[in-house]
Structure 1
Amino acid sequence: MKVLRHEEFADGCEAACNGPYANRWSKTMMGYGPESNHFVVELTYNYGIKSYELGNDFRGITIRSSEVLKRAKAKKWPILPGNVLEAPGGYKFHIIDAPQPTDRDPVEKVTLSCSNLLKSINYWNGLLELTIFDRTDKTVLLGFKEREAKLELENIEGPVQRAAAYGRIAFACPFEEQPKIAKKIEHHKQTILKPLISLDTPGKATVRVIILADPDGHEICFVDEEGFTELSQVDPEADKLLNRYIEKDRS
């Protein structure tokens, strides 16, 4: 993946973007292409925090790319059974051994655990209106568009433990749609973790977000598309900026 942008913050995020920490932190956006048309990973780094307790909520990210496996072998990075790579911290990447596509995002899906598949389907499909693309007895594949990365929910037939390393799934939507989402969630008596709030990024655009939680506590962020389009422009100096702060930190 490429470093698309890197941002530093002096204090914790009002919307808990960096988790329950009030300290200095940074975020690095990484993906196979611009945030406007690719799934992007947001890596948050909390200065001074050396480790996180993992739960069973995050199952992994699936990427179609035999090239990834070739690089792993060349760099002697362990390839686990089923072509699974484990990143630092324990996060899993499931690699499909097929040529990396050039006409679409190589990221196929993000898989999260759920404790009740029907209840989760009613939330994600019924309330948030994601389309069901596939379904089995234990999983459902959801998304907004055919040629985009999907969200997969997998029934683990037990409680979902989010522990202290959890993140959130984010979607961009039109500014005018955010209050409608809030009204709908309130009407159905579902959880709003953070009502509509504007967040500033030093030297960049301000965006408005609303943070929800699904029946298992998975956090969902809807950010306004207009502000996010301006904020998420690829920074050609992002890689240099990231490396400069890594050198300063040395942890």
Structure 2
Amino acid sequence: MIGYGPESDHFVIELTYNYGVKEYTLGNDFGGVTIRSAEVIERATKQNYPMVREDDHFLLVSPDGYKFFVFNESKGADQDPVKKVTLNCTDLERSVRYWQDTLQMKQLAKDDRSVELTYQENGFVLELRKIQAPLDRAKAYGRIAFAVPLDLQPKIEEVIKQSKNVILTPLISLDTPGKATVRVTILADPDGHEICFVDEEGFSQLSEVDPASDEQLDKYIKKDPFQE
């Protein structure tokens, strides 16, 4: 898990690495991540990391092809620089009905090409952006996850069943040896974007910051026999 602070109040990205796999085919389903951070621009400049100036922000593309839209702005130490994640969709009104009416996200802004939604004021924002081309999730797709109270999960499943939408993984418990057990259910929106709802009680224990995580990551990268 990679983020700018504790997972309890910061958006984090889960990087999944499969040994021996050299690459995945990117689709057009993921629009990118919006970050507001002058420090990112400064670090990228010092490291000569490629950046493209686009109007009022910079575009950085990860080694795997994922887009990051970075605004050259400084935020307070307790504020999460990650401001928005964009998912592409083929039918904006259909997607709004799913995410707003069915999943109960609040609408922040909307035009004829996109909509911004959130669960929490001044919190993480999900942008749905309409594209004209057929949506292709290819092989590199992922999912977005939200933590909710344990007793809310069965109600979410019931709403999805009643609305005749897709449940990819019915409510199950996942054990992590030596750590908390979490309960999850995984849904799919009309374009196939996967949404995971994990129980807040187990998740809060499982997501505690590990001070040794950076050291452990470096250790296992060095041990990876597939690194070139």
- Structure 1 length normalisation: TM-score? 0.87
- Please state if 1:181 is matched with 2:143: no
Separation (CA, whole Å) in 1 of partners of 2:137 and 2:62: 18
Residue identity matched to 2:223: K
Residues 1-251 of structure 1 aligned to structure 2 (within 5 Å)? 29-82=1-54, 83-250=58-225, 251=227
The offset of 1:187, in angstroms, is 0.5
Report the Cα distance in structure 1 between the residues aligned to 2:157 and 2:134, rounded to whole angstroms.
26
Aligned-residue offset at 1:202: 2.7
The Cα shift of 1:93 comes to: 0.5
SS of alignment partner, residue 209 of structure 1: strand
Residue identity opposite 2:13 in structure 1: V
Aligned residues: 223
| DSSP-derived class of the 1:152 partner | strand
After TM superposition, give the deviation of residue 199 of structure 1 in Å.
Answer: 1.1
1:23 is matched with which residue? Answer: none
In structure 2, stretches of 5+ residues that fail to align are none
CA contact (8 A) 1:123 1:215 kept: yes
Identity of aligned residues (%): 57
Deviations 1:187-221 (A, max 9, x none): 11000000011112232111110000000000000
The Cα of 1:101 is off from its aligned counterpart by: 3.5
C-alpha root-mean-square deviation of aligned residues, in Å? Answer: 1.0
Distance 1:51 1:79 in 2: 22
Shift of 1:153: 0.5
Tell me how far apart the structure 2 counterparts of residues 227 and 169 of structure 1 sit (CA, whole Å).
Answer: 18
Q: CA deviation at 1:104?
A: 1.8
Residues 109 and 151 in structure 1, CA contact (< 8 A), matched pair in contact too: yes
Letter paired with 1:68: V
Equivalent residue letter for 2:64:
G
- Amino acid paired to 2:83: E
Q: Secondary structure at the match of 2:191?
A: coil
